[in-house]
Every structure is written in C-alpha cells, then in structure tokens.
Structure 1
Amino acid sequence: MTIPPRKHLVVFSTHFWGHSRPMCTLVARIVKLRPVLITFLTVQNVHSRAEAELVRDFQPGEEHLVSRIRVIALEEGIEADETSGAPVVFKAVWDRLCNDQPLTCAKTGTRFEAFPVRPSAALLDSFAVDAHDIVRETSGDAVKLYTWYPVSTNSFFHVFSEDKYPEAKAEAARTGRPLLDVAYEMMWSSSGALMHSPCLPTIHDYEMHPQGFRLPKLLVANVLIRIAGAIHKADGLITFDAADYHPQATAAVRQHFAEKSRTAFYAGPLMPSGAQAAAKEKINSENGGEIMAFLDEKLKSAGEHSVLYLSFGSLFWPPDPAKLWAAVDVLMEKNIPFVMSHGASLASPLPDDVKARIENYGNAIVSDWVPQQALLEHPATGWYLMHGGHNGTLESVTAGVPMIVWPIDADQPMNAIYLADDIGVAYELIEVRGGCGLGTIFRNGRTPVGTIDAVKEEMRSVLDRAFGEDGAEKRARLQGLRKTLQAAWREDGVARGEVCAFLDGF
C-alpha cells in the first residue's frame, strides 16, 4: 500500500553548482526513504542542471518517486552578493508556499499547483542568509529550519563556528567606518595571526588563502560573515560531508551542536549510484564519449592508473595561470596522459601557445565539462590534480584515486592538510602559492619560493613520487577510507541512518 506524503520539505540552493549538486542527490534519496514531498527552489542558471542531476540517482522502477519533487527556479538577484535569488523574491515564494498558492518557475514558465501539505521544514544553503531570516521571521517555530553546509566540516571552526557579525556592527558604530569594510577585514585577515582548531594543526590566518585569492567584498562582508548567525538561527545542520571522512572533525562539530541542543547530520558522501548514474553523466557531459574512449585506449596502451585528471571544480581557478601552464608543461615533459577540465566559472582562457603545445603533444584531452564520476572510477585514472574542494575530494576518495592538491581557498587548505599530512593519501603542492600565501607555513616552517622554476621543480618531484613506490603506498592507504565511505549509504550505513533521523525529526 502506498502511504500518502504527510510532510513537505522545501530546499533552497544557490548559484554555486558545488553546493547544489550533492543537494540533488540528497533530495533523490529522501523521497526513496520516506513519503515526503519536496519543493526544490533554485536559480535559473542551475535549474536545468539540477533537473538532470536529480534523475541520475533513480533506478528503473523508481520513476514514480520523481513526481514527489518539483524543481522551481526563482527570479535572480542582480547584486554582487546575491547567491540565492533576490530576498524579496524568496519572501514572496515562501509566503505562497505557506498559504497554499501556486508557484511559477521563472526558467520554464511552468505553473505548479499547491502541494496538499504546507511546508514542514526548510533546508537552506548556508549562503542563503536572508532566506534563513525570512523563514524564521515568517514561520517562527512552526517550520523546522535547517542549514545546508556544503563544504568540509573540518573548515567549520576556522570560519563559521563564531558569529562575528554583531562584533563587526559594533566596531563600525564605534569607529564610524563603513560596516562592509570592517566586516571584510574581520573575515579576510592575512595579518599572520594564529588560528586554532580542535581537529587540525594550528595555522597562520594567511594560510587560509594560499593563492592570495580574494572573493568580492560584498560576498564576504554581506554574506560570509552572516553565515555563522544563520547557522545559529537554525534547528540543526545537514552536511554533504561524510562522518567517517575526518572523524575528529565530525566529533568536534557534533559536540559543538550538542552543546546548543541541536544536531549536525552527516549525509555524505552524496554521489548518484547505479547504471543510470553513469549513463546519464556521460550524456550530460561535453565530450563524454570521447573522454571515456581516451581512457579505454590508455588503459590498453599504458595500463592501470596511468592517466592524471586535472580539474579545479566548477568555480575556482589558479589566480596565476602561468603556474598552471608550467605544471601542464611538466606533465607533457614526463609524457603523462591527462584529461583537463576547463569549465570553472573563474577559468582563464587557454592561451594559444599552450593550446598548440597540448594539441602537438597528442596525449591529452581538454574539455569544459567531463563525466567526473565515471572518469574517476575508470581503471586508467591514477591521480587527481585538484583544488581540494569537498565534492571532488569525496568523489576521489570513494573512487580510490589519490590526489595532488593545489588549494586555492575556502575549505581547500584544510582538506589539503588533512589528506597530505594527517592521513597520507595525497601530496600538497606548496610552490604554487602566491600573494599572502607565500608566508611561512606554521606547521613545518617552510617558506615557499613561488617562482615558475620552483613550481616546475616541485611538480617533477611530486610526479616522480606519485607514479612510483611512494604513490603506490598512498593509493593502498586510501583504500581503507574508500571502503568505509562506500558503506555510508548501505542499509545500516551512517549516512542513511542520519538522513532518516533528520526526516523523522520534523
């Protein structure tokens, strides 16, 4: 007998695909676990990709469950700090949801009639700070409010455990300085102050920004500094991080929330599974067939683990591209076959001379988007040169592919430390650093040189080790963590249990 849905969950993602992609898989898993209706609110430039990603996790015979999910794009904001649609638009949509009124998708024009159940809970991207305020002010405690934490939780104590916004407002009032300036300096310091964490080594504040990369002031001073406050307003936190990825971080975060009588739920890893997942990823990726054929050929001609995959995710890119092209030159010098993703939002154009060298090399593919999950799971793939973003990190760990990490910002420096120093399944590139990131590293006293020659020398050394005995040891070491994370969504897995507990809590 089919049980009619009695709960209605509203989820809200942002412009950042790295935040939205795992949320798609979570939503698909939720409707399989419980009779829940879901309104998936997003923005127009993510809408089509979200719809395509959602269906990847459904298997034949589960098509009826898709009807419980409706994906609706909102009108988008125009300000630099708008990461999740204009607040006034979200307020109007939330009011309609709470008053049994229809909604219209701004992307497709499709009209959606009201669900038979009003919202029971809201799961909002942590960057959607205004949306947190709107739900709480409009619905009070009648609707459970949860924050979606779309990065590694080992970054929590460095960035979001303390609400600094009231302090920034007080300092701005005391000094007469603009609040944006005060808030920006408070969040984006590179003075050399020491930062402590219960789950990672002590670092200088500038080590949070190893490339000297700077996000726009409005995003930092009007969104990032308010995230801790948004988290504190919520009834709990849900993350796509895996509880067993960094157990010390998990324990510390759980304790932090327990002290406030709230819960942190670990839902990861969240990657679509099954035959449908692989097939639809290849269809949705540019040059997917060509890339998989390239890997098949390299498996025959060069053997297992012979190919290096190079990607900085969907957003980030090295601020000094000359260092990246120097690293690519070393790959070609050593005749290592590689696949490079060039689709990041911040990616710089491929210079004509670099493009010509890669074409003449003939042992590589450059594509805007790749079928990343299928690529990492292919036996020809040996190493992942990446920025340390958590989507890619969990995908690489789950596929058993060790990493060469080139951290840029956000949670990436913390992942690099953990993967390379704490558990020994990766190499961290140091000489690629720039700007304030060229300061001395607290944990080992090393000071990067940061020149092109230094980048090339380090890259040669790392590749020699990666494709040698040391790299084989790292790969073998990674397999234990791989098996643990692969079990997270089994019948008795930790992620499955935590998501069920979340669903039973509202």
Structure 2
Amino acid sequence: MSHFVLAPLPAWGHVRPLTQLALRLLDFNEKIVVTIFIGPNLLAKTRAEISANTTIPLEHNSRIRILTTIDSTEQDVFKLLGSLVGSYPEAYKTLHEAKEITCATTGMTYNAVKAPVAVLLDFFLGPMLFATRAIAGESVRIFTWATGAPAAITRIWGPEHLGGLGDFEAKVEEEARRTGTVAADIGDMIYRRTSGAIVKLPGLPAVYDYELFPQELASPPSMYQLLLSGHTVFKNCDGVVMSSSYVLEGKALEGMKKWWAEDGKEVYGIGPLLPRTYWDTLPTDEGATDVRNFLEEMLGKYGKQSVILVSFGSFFWPPVQEYVEELIIGLIDKKFPFIFCHASPFAIIPPALSNIINSSGLGILSSWVPQQYVLNHPATGWFLTHGGQGSVTESLGSGIPLICWPIEADQPIASLQAAQSLRVAFELVEVRNGQGLGPIHRLGGRKPEGTRAAVGREIREVIDAARGEVGQEMRRKAEAIKAQMQKSWDEEGVAAKELAAFVEKLVL
C-alpha cells in the first residue's frame, strides 16, 4: 500500500483540481490510499465533488479520506491559514505513526494505514513543508502542488534568464537592509515594482513588465507572505506537480522543467485535471433552475452558441465600476444574451443596473452558477472571464472560446496564452487602468485610451468579431483543443504518461 497526503490552500481553484488528481491516483493503482487535508470552509463541497466522480464510499475504511484538522465556520481563506498551518504537525504525526485519524469537523475516524510515502503541499503552505520534514525526515518525498499558469509561476519564482524575477526573497531582504525597513512592509512593493523592462517568458510573446499588472486595484491583496511561502516550498521540495496541461501550456511547462532541472528536480504537468466525466456525462444544473430556464429560453429565441457567460471568479472584480456597466450596456445594445455571475465579495451591482438587466430580457444575474453545466449547454457560445487558469481550462475543455479581462495574479499571463499563443480568445485592453495604460508591446506600442467611451467601443467591436469569421475560427480551434485535452488522458496520452511517471517511483 502507498499512502499519498494532499494539502491544498483552502480555495476552490486550488482544491478542485487536486481532488481530481486524487481520483486519478486511485484509478491508477488499487494499492494507493489518499488522505486530503481540507479547510473546513470547503469540506462539504470537496466531499460532494468526490462523490459525484467516484463510486468509492467516503467511509472510515475508504481509500480516500477527506478530513479537517480544525473545526471552524470561518470562510475567509486567509483567516483560516494560521489555524490550518498550526494544527497540521500533530495531524501529520498521527499519519506518520500509522495511527487512525479523526476529522475535526465531522468526527469521522478513519482506519490506520501505512505511513505516507509522498506529500503534496500547496506552494502557499510553506511552514507545512518544514513540519513534515521534521517529523518524517527523508522517509517521505515532498512535492509542491502548483496551480496557476506555469509561465506566471516562472515569472514570480523563476530565474532571470527564463524571464523570472530571480531570488525574490534575497531581493526583498537586500532592499530592507538598504532602506532600513521591514521586509514584510516592502515585499508587495517589490513584487509590483515595474520599470518598463521587456519580459520574455517561455511560450509567450514579449510584454513590458507593467503589462503583467493591467489593473490598479484600490486595495490590492497582500502577496508577500504567500510569495515567500512559494519561494520556500519550491526551494526545499523534492519535485513539482502542476495542474497544467501540455495541450494548453506545453512550452511553458518545458520552461518549468528546464528551470528545475538545474536543481535536479522533476516537474510533472498532470493536467487537465477536470472531472473524469467532463466529456462523457451531461452535467446537471445543480438546482439552478433560473439559469437552466434562461438558457433554454435563449436557445429557443436565438439559437445555439448565442449566450455568453460572464464571470470574474469568486474573488476578483474590475476596479473601474463604469467599465462593468459599459460591458452590460454593450451586451444589451448588441442583443447578446448573457449570464452574469457576480460571486466576488467586492462585486457591485447597483439597483439601477440590476433593473436594466432584468428589464432587458437578455440577461440574468446570479451570485453563483453551475459553470460546468453552463459551459456545456448548447445555448452557450462564449465565456468572458478574468482569465485565471482554471476558467480557461474549463472553457476550452468545453470547446468554448473566450473574451479575457485579466486583473491580477496569473490572469494576465493565462489570458496572453489564450489570446496570442492558442488564438482562442480576445483580450480586452481598453479596460486597463493605472500603469496598465502604458504602451502595449505586442501592439507596436499603442496605448489604451483609458476612457469609458473606448471601453464601450472595444466591447462592441469584439462582439461583432466574435459573431464573425474571426470568432468562428476561434471556435474551431477551441473545439480542436477540447479533443486534444480529452485524448491527453488516453492510455498513451501526455497527461496519463505524466501521471505514470510521477507515481511509478512512489508505489510500493
């Protein structure tokens, strides 16, 4: 028996692909047992995701054990981190000693199994790596679990000769010594500092460094501790497991492998990590009858591929509110039916705007939609997204081309990949603000205008192009990528081979 422990950041974009990796591991070898340490905020959702994709019962003697190390009703990811990290050592020690273990939330006690042979730790959970090593020494192999566009990871943590920032931790410490400040106070500033330098990352066209920050947020999330954690985990792990797909990001993954080969570490691109039934089973509406009814109505009125899904994910929201309003007005003007999902806690939908949408007969608002169902419905033709790797992967896994409005994190790079390398997306550039209004390298130095009028004009031009031959060509390419993604999990497919290469040295 070979025991794998998986510990993701308690954010759904990190958790969902890891649950699919867990199921792939169980399918690969019946001698594998998986324990997933999950945040209590996502325990129920994770159990539901697992149950929907396997017949293995979630019981005390199951080969897959999903448990929390703390019991909490807190939903904020960052507020949970301290308690999760603090409770991990005792929980891992229990597994290392091959004892039974109890979920702090449900009270379910799982049978004792052999000590873990491998631990996959999210790259934002650095302290857990040292705790694992202190308990188990070299008896367990520790891998970084990395979600997000590989080119974005290379940019943040990679060497300068591959387009990366170099040793981020050393740069922050040096600046702190030079200025007499505290590293934590200047880490975010250094991360976001730009000079107009040209950045060339594997598999992507050149960009100016400020193009990687296209939106100036009023209160940008503090990234320093997470970036420092990533630096620690990458530096001290035994290898890297990526949720990325060679079909979408092959050159970027090869760049990652080149980077880590310099340190004798292996990188595995085991993606796409979509549900195993993604291409075989028609998804359900998960109780979202208003969404289902709207899609059926639009299908009858406007035909197939007539609806666009709009979503900026569960956290981010465009900083210029009038641009959001211009988007909605543009969709209505062009009679482009839309589902607008506003899941972010920062989302702003004023009553007047809501009334415009409701009275148009062309749109529906929701704080949550069953995204897999919507993307695979015959009425859906496009996805307007912030461009995170998960959204891009799901959309192309459904053969749906994109319109990208990147904001932060890996989104600018994933959007660039979709628009310029894969040619399956339009990227909106007039929506940029702040330093994002600088010249755009790939457009010959043209600057965005930075006005609502320019945003409205661009949105309408993109809608026209999406409905024309350019859009049809993008759709053909998206459908071809969908087929390639599906084949990557065939017995001789690239994803299946990467999984086999990862597991073969660990299964006893």
User: So what's the TM-score if we normalise by structure 1?
Assistant: 0.91
State the distance in 1 between where 2:132 and 2:422 align. 41
Q: Percent identity?
A: 31
Q: 1:232 aligns with which of 232, 235, 239?
A: 235
**Residue 392 (structure 1) shift:** 1.0
Alignment of 1:459-498 (within 5 A): 459-498=459-498
**Residue 407 (structure 1) shift:** 0.5
Q: Which moved more, 1:438-447 or 1:189-198?
A: 189-198
* 8 A contact 1:80–1:216 mirrored in 2: no
**Distance of aligned partners of 1:276 and 1:216 in 2 relative to their CA distance in 1, 3 Å threshold:** same
- How many residues were matched structurally? 493
State the distance in 2 between where 1:85 and 1:463 align. 47
Aligned to 1:27: 22
Partner SS, residue 119 of structure 2: strand
Partner SS, residue 139 of structure 2: coil
* 8 A contact 1:165–1:226 mirrored in 2: no
**Residue 461 (structure 1) shift:** 0.6
Aligned to 1:3: none
**Distance of aligned partners of 1:47 and 1:479 in 2 relative to their CA distance in 1, 3 Å threshold:** same
**Residue 397 (structure 1) shift:** 1.0
* 8 A contact 2:248–2:422 mirrored in 1: no
State the distance in 1 between where 2:406 and 2:144 align. 25
Amino acid of the structure 2 residue aligned with 1:142? S
For structure 2, list consecutive stretches of 5 or more residues without a partner in the other structure.
159-165
Aligned to 1:351: 350
User: So what's the TM-score if we normalise by structure 2?
Assistant: 0.91
Alignment of 1:24-173 (within 5 A): 24-34=19-29, 35-58=31-54, 63=57, 67-75=62-70, 80=78, 83=81, 85-108=83-106, 110-161=107-158, 162-173=166-177
Residues 415-473 of structure 1 show CA distances to partners (whole Å, capped at 9, x for unaligned) of 22222222321110011111221122223212111211111111011001111222112
* 8 A contact 1:321–1:348 mirrored in 2: no
Partner SS, residue 316 of structure 2: coil
* 8 A contact 1:129–1:226 mirrored in 2: yes
State the distance in 2 between where 1:386 and 1:259 align. 35
State the distance in 1 between where 2:235 and 2:155 align. 16
Q: Which moved more, 1:402-411 or 1:247-256?
A: 247-256
Runs of 4+ in 1 over 6 A off after TM superposition: 76-79
**Residue 326 (structure 1) shift:** 1.2
For structure 1, list consecutive stretches of 5 or more residues without a partner in the other structure.
1-5
Partner SS, residue 375 of structure 2: helix
Amino acid of the structure 1 residue aligned with 2:232? G
State the distance in 2 between where 1:101 and 1:64 align. 18
Amino acid of the structure 2 residue aligned with 1:104? T
**Distance of aligned partners of 1:122 and 1:387 in 2 relative to their CA distance in 1, 3 Å threshold:** same
Alignment of 1:367-386 (within 5 A): 367-386=366-385
1:16 aligns with 2:18: no
Aligned to 1:7: 2
* 8 A contact 1:383–1:403 mirrored in 2: yes
- Please tell me the root mean square deviation across aligned C-alpha atoms, in Å: 2.4
State the distance in 2 between where 1:245 and 1:210 align. 22
Amino acid of the structure 2 residue aligned with 1:139? A
**Residue 191 (structure 1) shift:** 3.6
* 8 A contact 1:187–1:225 mirrored in 2: no
Partner SS, residue 46 of structure 2: helix
* 8 A contact 2:125–2:229 mirrored in 1: no
State the distance in 2 between where 1:80 and 1:275 align. 31
**Residue 122 (structure 1) shift:** 0.5
State the distance in 2 between where 1:418 and 1:380 align. 26
**Distance of aligned partners of 1:117 and 1:84 in 2 relative to their CA distance in 1, 3 Å threshold:** farther
Residues 212-267 of structure 1 show CA distances to partners (whole Å, capped at 9, x for unaligned) of 137766x4121213313311211111111101212221221122222322211111
Partner SS, residue 49 of structure 2: helix
**Residue 85 (structure 1) shift:** 4.2
* 8 A contact 1:163–1:226 mirrored in 2: no
1:187 aligns with 2:191: yes
Amino acid of the structure 1 residue aligned with 2:216? G
**Residue 126 (structure 1) shift:** 1.0
Residues 258-306 of structure 1 show CA distances to partners (whole Å, capped at 9, x for unaligned) of 23222111111111133899677532xxx52332232233223211111
